[in-house]
Amino acid sequence: MFDFTLILFLFVLGACFGSFGGVVVLRLMKGQSIISPKSFCQECNTAIAFYDNIPLISYLVLKGRCRKCAKPIGKKLFLIELLSALIFVSLFLKLGLTWNYVEAVVLSWGMLVISFIDFDHRIIPDVFTLPGILIGILGAWVNPDRTVVTSLMGFLAGGGVLWTVAFIYSAVKKEEGMGGGDIKLLAWIGAVMGWQAVIYTILVSSVLGSVVGILMGIRQKSSQGLLKTSIPFGPFLSLAAFSFFFMGEELIKKYLQFFFPFY
Ligand SMILES: [Zn+2]
């Protein structure tokens, strides 16, 4: 039986971190400071009172509208808060209160924010990935369940493999394929989750990306849309890597049993 109070606490904590993540998404690309001023409506610039700034609840109370100007706000913010809360709780249910949990939460929160930024701006800022890689390697040094060697192997698998793919693609097609931000994100995923997770993430995100790309291509009735990716890849990488926390171990076991029955 899981401790309900603890789960509720982690849900609220996750929502608060999601709220902060939403501020980062809204302001980072506009060059606004993340720390100050306090939250304000992006439409009418009115400062948002603390009682209108409660994660998840305020959105529901205000029905997604600014109290002053009634323009719709915060749908994206609500989604980030909810997803962040679910990340905090679901990873706890899978990993318990362990070092792995802390590291998984940090990476997943980062991937959540990155996904929203990539979706809006088609960029994965180094401000996230580079410190993330460093924290991922340092985390392996602190976490008794991981080693720095496996962390570095994951980092190289993520960074190295994709860099090679991007290099060949740009050499053959004479244009840039996968962005450098995607490669750094995968290097971060590898540094925290190991090289197996990198391979899994590349495979799963490619399938997800292709399916969505094809669906979007058909909907837009454009033949070009099928071949030229105009969709951000960060969300697919993030979703695939996140699912590895829940399915990765099982899948690797099944895979090994299939090809090496006596393994
Ligand atoms: Zn307003």
CA of 114 to the centre of ligand 1 (A): 26
Helix ranges (DSSP H) in the chain = 4-28, 57-61, 75-95, 99-121, 126-142, 148-173, 180-193, 195-219, 224-227, 234-259
CA of 178 to the centre of ligand 1 (A): 38
Angle subtended by helix axes 148-173 and 180-193, to nearest 10: 160
Domain range summary for the chain, segments of one domain joined by +: 1-97, 110-263
Task: Give pTM, 2 decimals.
Answer: 0.86
Averaged pLDDT for residues 39-66: 86
CA of 84 to the centre of ligand 1 (A): 25
The model's pLDDT over 201-244, given as tens digits with 9 standing for 90+, comes to: 999 999 998 888 888 776 555 444 444 446 788 999 999 999 99
- CA 133/CA 137 separation, integer angstroms: 6
The model's pLDDT over 108-164, given as tens digits with 9 standing for 90+, comes to: 999 999 999 999 888 899 899 999 999 999 999 999 999 999 999 999 999 887 777
CB 110 within 8 A of CB 188: yes
CA of 42 to the centre of ligand 1 (A): 7
Place of tokens 């394929």: 177
CA of 61 to the centre of ligand 1 (A): 15
CA of 67 to the centre of ligand 1 (A): 7
Phi (first) and psi of residue 41, to 5 degrees:
-70, 130
CA of 47 to the centre of ligand 1 (A): 8
pLDDT for 11 beyond 90: yes
